[in-house]
Structure 1
Amino acid sequence: MQLKDKVILVTGAASGIGRQTCLSLAARGARIHASDIDRDGAAETCRRIEAEGGRASFLHHDVTQPEAWRDVMQVIERQNGRLDGLVNSAGLMVVRPFQQTDFELYRRQQTVNVDSVWLGCQAAQSLLARAAEESGGASIVNLSSILGLKGGSMHSAYCTSKGAVRLLTKALAIEMGKLKIRVNSVHPGLVETPLGLGSMTDMIKYGAPLPSLDAAVSMVAQRTPLGRAAQPLDVANVIAFLCADESQYVTGSELTVDGGFSAQ
């Protein structure tokens, strides 16, 4: 998967899947714009890329604000004149029993996980279309979850948001196809990141019958055909494929990255 000189924006770049995606794309030759509301974390991601000889710059970015998206696109246009890929990785995971999820918290979940993807795809379309016209294609990758495909106890708000991302992705794939912009969603299972492990901790806090975080992760591994939870690199490799020209005929797809967990 060669991504040499492709310009790619990754949101949620300060940690977890977003950080590893930046590292993996940069290692394949992409020019990375790493954005996050966590300025220090995004800067550290860029420092790691540059230490390996890659090219990256960080952007302080609240993905829930339309004006922030406009500012980010202006910076990218000024510096590069094009955008070959957008990875919407920024996200929040609310874990609460349904009756303990108040409306404010529910709305926060939708704002971070759904509204940000909507705003990002709108803001990026013009630059992506320009790159697609020049090179034959551009790519949007939206991070959903296996909980955008199936239900999960204590994850009602999260499931709602990730299911919305899944179908928004399909709708945009149809509409943007004429512009040669591919739009796909990626659906991880449990990934050993602060977000993923934090969700397991919250489940225990709110009554899941598990004695510890280690026991929870072990339970998931035992129920997974491949015998382990995912690492960020497992997901980043799939994202890299969707950003690369090798996926030039893949759009409107949902790629599940869960070691077979949801196949059962």
Structure 2
Amino acid sequence: MRIRVMTFNIRFDTVMDEPSGNRWADRVDSVVETVRRWRPDIVGFQEALRSQLQDLTAALPRHRAVGRPREAGDVGEYVPLFFDQERFFAQDYGDFWLSDTPDVEGSLGWDAPDPRHCTWALLADEPSGQRFAVFNTHLDRWGELARLEGARLIATRTQLTPGVPFLVMGDLNAGEDSEPLKAFRAAGLVDTYRRVHPHHTYVGTMHNYALPTPGEKIDFILADSSWTTAGADIIRDEAAGRLPSDHFPVFADVELASGARRSPAQEASIGHAAGETLASDH
């Protein structure tokens, strides 16, 4: 089973971007064209507000979106997972918060000034019957401890369904040699991009609409040992005549061996409560 996965921080819609011409209304066509051009089976977006989510679900009808916003009261940014509903069936999905109380909606973690969370889905590939889990997150920008403990929590949650292959993606706000990435590597995860491009040095993924981008790679698609990587890259292309966001999206083509799936007896839940389908269901 081969799938294409994309992580894409689309930048939240804010009036602060009005003077530079980078409001969501200016960029939405570029974001949608990028997704359509690269045709991912699964996309993890970050920084999506509800209005942006509604635009994306309308423009990408083949994909189903799951996830909840990060703040209590059904407000704030989403880290939604979009997946090809003609190919995959969601056996379970949900959210947990990056805190000491991960099942408390909107809970703050460690030194983070804002709630942060992770959206996950347990998917079954209809053609092959293979099952796997996908996690999408946006680690805190300011809290160093929150980034590390958030990474550790996600790594722990990936182990709650023994034998299930998994992928972790998102804007980690941390570079390749950071403590959060070390925590993920200690849990057996590897960067799919580095499997393909072990020596590349021009790898910055946040550009703030200014090129070139000499900074660090902070957007990742991480895979456990069940997966092989057939291809991966940082997408630096313009679409609809402009850069779609202040981050470059990243994609990976990953493949799961035919025997890499769990037995039905290994059923377990990554979260205590099932998630909610978003945007179109509210």
The two structures have a TM-score, normalised by structure 2, of: 0.38
The two structures have a TM-score, normalised by structure 1, of: 0.40
Greater fraction strand: 2
Greater fraction helix: 1
